[in-house]
Amino acid sequence: MDAKFMTSLFGGDCPNGAKLSMGLTGGDFWPRMSQCRLVYRGQDGNVDDLTICAIAQADAEEIEIKDQFLPPLTIWHFHQCLVSHCGLESDRSMECIVRIDENGDMMGDMPNVPIPLEAELLAGGRVKLRWRYSHAFEEVSPTCFNIYINDGSGFDYATPSDTILYDLGKAGMFEWISQELIDGKFYQFVVRSDNETEAETINTTFVSAVIDSQGPPAITSINASWEEDQ
């Protein structure tokens, strides 16, 4: 017999053993007449369809995935399928996305990331940030946007430098103007979408600016001449 089936003797850990429901019964090459349900997962959208991370009865309403460690600040995609008694798999289900925060806890649904983010220097040592928000394929709408500033000491994502409320009437375009910043200093800016009852996005893409509160030098003289039309 094919050796790849033999791990079914130890609880059906191999893919073929699981697809034949041997892990549910502990049986050897003796498939169940009913179906079973398999769960696959992968990081950052790359689901590993060769490695089963959980198996349950076909009519199970919940599936517990035991002994898994999902590192902080990672994103995981899970999907499931049904397997017939002869080992044929159904199409994959829609993906369930799980995000892990910096403390190792699972985050709730989150809005889309605001893009593209642009910075413009203004008079008086201020900076204007502009970005667009799209509702396409969002899990939940934002309630606000959080602005984070790195002035050389790093980003503190636990404490926003400022927050502006989400306004649906702005047709997807938003902007924020800073207070006067230190002349000649290098700053970095990040804007994150936030739903206060669910979760904040975890994007870290920034824009940067060197503050120039002086502006260009003033014109010191001006000359004028008169010409008559011919």
Confidence of residue 190 (pLDDT cuts 50, 70, 90): very high
Query: What is the chain's mean pLDDT, rounded?
Result: 81
Over residues 115-153, the pLDDT tens digits come to: 899 999 999 999 999 999 998 888 899 999 999 999 999
How far, in Å, CA of 87 to CA of 14, rounded?
13
For range 12-16, the mean pLDDT: 53
* Model pLDDT, residue 166: 92
How far, in Å, CA of 109 to CA of 216, rounded?
47
User: Of 51, 95, 101, which Cα lies nearest the Cα of 75?
Assistant: 101
Q: Which of 12-21, 80-89, 167-176, 184-193 has the highest mean pLDDT?
A: 184-193
* Model pLDDT, residue 211: 93
Confidence of residue 33 (pLDDT cuts 50, 70, 90): very low
Does 85 have pLDDT greater than 80?
no
In this structure, is the dihedral angle defined by the CA atoms of residues 82, 88, 94 and 98, taken in order, positive or negative?
positive
* Model pLDDT, residue 95: 78
The owner of tokens 């041997």 is 22
**% of the chain residues with pLDDT over 70:** 78
* Assigned CATH class of 3-100: mainly beta
* Model pLDDT, residue 199: 86
Which is more confidently placed, 152 or 227?
152
26 backbone φψ class: left, alpha, beta (φ>0; ψ -120 to 50)? left
3-100 matches 118-210 in fold: yes
Does 1 have pLDDT greater than 60?
no
Does 5 have pLDDT greater than 70?
no
Domain ranges within the chain, ordered by starting residue: 3-100, 118-210
How far, in Å, CA of 172 to CA of 156, rounded?
26
Overall residue count recorded for the chain in this entry: 230
* Assigned CATH class of 118-210: mainly beta
pTM of the model: 0.59
Confidence of residue 206 (pLDDT cuts 50, 70, 90): very high
* Model pLDDT, residue 160: 96
Does 28 have pLDDT greater than 90?
no
How far, in Å, CA of 213 to CA of 216, rounded?
9
